[in-house]
Structure 1
Amino acid sequence: MADESFSVTDVSFTSDDTKATGETSQTQSSDDFGQSTVPLTVVSLNQQADSFRQQQKAVPELPSAKFQYSVWHDLKFVEVRGDELKAPRVRKAPVEEEKVLYKVVDEENKAVHHSIMGKEKTQHKIKMENWESAKYVSLSYQELNDRYQQNNMYRILARLRLVEYLNLPHNSITDISQFSFPKCEFLNLNNNYIASFKSLPKLPCIKYLLLETNSVGSLDGLRRFRSSGLEELYLAANPITFVPGYRSRVFQILPRLLMLDGIPKLESDLIKEPDLEDNNKGCVVA
């Protein structure tokens, strides 16, 4: 029987039997030990995959692609306002793409976006956003990778004076301590890059604070929520949760807290930890 085993440096070939059945046979002599071998079936499949990729045509662009940079208040004949939307897109388009928006047309070759420009456009945007009246705001996954996008988000946060429910996960946020949400009772900042409680906004009425999957490594700054009436705090997947006595330390700082990481206050959480320090940083690996 012919030897169809070969090393990766050999010239690849496929027998007639392999082409017909997809099966291969391999024999290996003592001289072949130590060499890397590749079954002919694998080579054949890889060749087929390469051929398929080369023949595959480009995926056609979906009709919705022309709206990828559109914001609702840029569309014509739209009367809905920002405080009426459940999860509005607020991510600002690149400057070069904004010019393209006004060239987009529908099936009847009519302009999709309004043609308002300059100060009138700014006034129209502020009116349609109406963030000052918003009580429930969800601005997750806004892809704030560039400075101009971050500035646009911060512009909106500064206007949320009446917000009670604020959802901001997955936004790469590091610090929003310059903002104040005087009526906010629920704040979700999961999956961001917050490293300290000092990086949080002023929240005098907060009851539910979600900070899971961030970078909080210290309880420094947590005491500021002692008078806020905070009832539930979620810190799972933060470095601080690995500190010995973590739960007891949190409840000592916040005696009115009812729930931590989804678990109600336990009797074991009331044991006072010695040498309690707010600035206990880092995690301990046993």
Structure 2
Amino acid sequence: MSESSSGVNTLTGSFPKSHSSQCSDLRVTRTPLSVDQSPDSGLVATPLPSSRFRFVSWHRLEQCDVTGDQLTCPRELNLSYQNLGDPFQKENFLRILRRLIRVENLQLVDNSLTNLSSVRLPRCRMLNLQRNHLLCLRQLPKLPAVEHLSLSENAIGSLGGLGALGIGPLRSLNLSRNPVTFTQDYRARVFLCLPKLEILDGIPKLPEDSLPTRLQFPETTRMCNIL
């Protein structure tokens, strides 16, 4: 493929995309981008309906004339490092999350998120909320289908609300670098609430995790003070 000195593609007659022309391109083109199906590409052969918008920031979507049939909810989405410092930004970000009814893999790393309880992600199987500001598990979104959940490096201090995750098919949970990990019998309590859980904080379930003897006999439990 060759280009002239003016930047025009001589084979297709198209101009290179620029930041300023991105929105106009979205209004005109209604055909999803093709996906590279070469053996080394590592990309899925079947294009997602939202493939055309995979390089568009979430806050720019409303600046384009995008209709529902053009932007079918993506199955995989990375919205990490959004620098949500203003309450207005956070509110609009939550509004975007509420529309992700078909997302299956969602990355929300380091977004200063504090409460997602108003969000429901009915098809999400993998959610990464690492390095946010969550204080308890009740601030999580509704996740009826989640299998892998990462909550490391938050500020979660108790296991309150953990039982809600036990209803779904949760297989792995990461709570490392949260104050709650210093709770007495931490691993035993988590596995007691989540019988389907296989991996906690990157460590598979151990035989001793299935025998919470001191939890079964609370009168013999000894208190542990952490200074």
* Length-normalised TM-score, structure 1: 0.57
Corresponding pairs, count: 183
Q: What whole-Å deviation, never above 9, does each CA across 1:246-281 have from its counterpart, x for those lacking one?
A: 11110011111000001000011112133799xxxx
Structure 1 residues 268 and 143 mapped into 2: Cα distance closer, same or farther (>3 Å)?
same
1-side partners of 2:70 and 2:94: how far apart?
Answer: 14
1:170 maps to 2:110? yes
Q: What whole-Å deviation, never above 9, does each CA across 1:3-22 have from its counterpart, x for those lacking one?
A: xxxxxxxxxxxxxxxxxxxx
**1:73–1:128: 8 Å Cα contact kept in structure 2?**
no
Structure (1/2) with the larger helix percentage? 1
- CA drift at 1:179: 1.0
* Higher Cα Rg, which structure: 1
Match of residue 224, structure 1, among 157, 164, 181: 164
Structure 1 residues 180 and 240 mapped into 2: Cα distance closer, same or farther (>3 Å)?
same
**1:235–1:241: 8 Å Cα contact kept in structure 2?**
yes
Counterpart residue number, 2:25: 77
1:274 maps to 2:215? yes
- CA drift at 1:86: 5.1
Counterpart residue number, 1:90: 58
Match of residue 263, structure 1, among 198, 203, 226: 203
Match of residue 121, structure 2, among 181, 184, 190: 181
Counterpart residue number, 1:157: 97
* Structure 1 residues 127-138: aligned runs within 5 Å: 130=71, 132-138=72-78
2-side partners of 1:198 and 1:176: how far apart?
Answer: 9
* Length-normalised TM-score, structure 2: 0.71
Amino acid at match of 2:58: V
Structure 1 residues 123 and 88 mapped into 2: Cα distance closer, same or farther (>3 Å)?
closer
Counterpart residue number, 2:178: 238
1-side partners of 2:182 and 2:151: how far apart?
Answer: 15
- CA drift at 1:152: 2.1
1-side partners of 2:106 and 2:146: how far apart?
Answer: 11
Amino acid at match of 1:77: D
Match of residue 253, structure 1, among 193, 209, 214: 193
1-side partners of 2:128 and 2:225: how far apart?
Answer: 27
Q: What whole-Å deviation, never above 9, does each CA across 1:133-173 have from its counterpart, x for those lacking one?
A: 21111100011001221122112111101111111111000
Which blocks of at least 5 consecutive residues in structure 1 are unaligned? 1-65, 93-120, 278-282
2-side partners of 1:209 and 1:183: how far apart?
Answer: 13
Counterpart residue number, 1:96: none
Structure 1 residues 269 and 183 mapped into 2: Cα distance closer, same or farther (>3 Å)?
same
Q: What whole-Å deviation, never above 9, does each CA across 1:153-204 have from its counterpart, x for those lacking one?
A: 1121111011111111110000011111111100000000011111011111
Structure 1 residues 241 and 204 mapped into 2: Cα distance closer, same or farther (>3 Å)?
same
2-side partners of 1:271 and 1:151: how far apart?
Answer: 44
Counterpart residue number, 1:200: 140
Amino acid at match of 1:154: L
Structure 1 residues 253 and 151 mapped into 2: Cα distance closer, same or farther (>3 Å)?
same
